[in-house]
Amino acid sequence: MFMTGLTGLIAFNVIVGVFGLVAAAVGLLVFVVTALFVIARSSRREKQTHG
């Protein structure tokens, strides 16, 4: 997990370095959408498990 995270971090920084602020904004937006998706999915799963 550590290596995956580190690779992701370096990749994100290189993208920001090459494509600038727009890439950073898009990256953050993608992160937020992913977060909302993961939270919604895990909440549904938890509701099914715990009622």
Q: Of these, 3, 18, 48, 51, which contacts another protein (CB under 8 A)?
A: 18
CA 37, 40, 46, 49 torsion-angle sign: negative
d(CA 49, CA 18): 45
d(CA 19, CA 12): 10
Q: Per CB under 8 A, does 7 bind another protein?
A: no
CB of 3 to another protein, least distance (A): 13
Residues that bind another protein (CB under 8 A): 1, 5, 13-14, 16-18, 20-21, 24-25, 28-29, 31-32, 34-36, 38-39, 41-43, 45
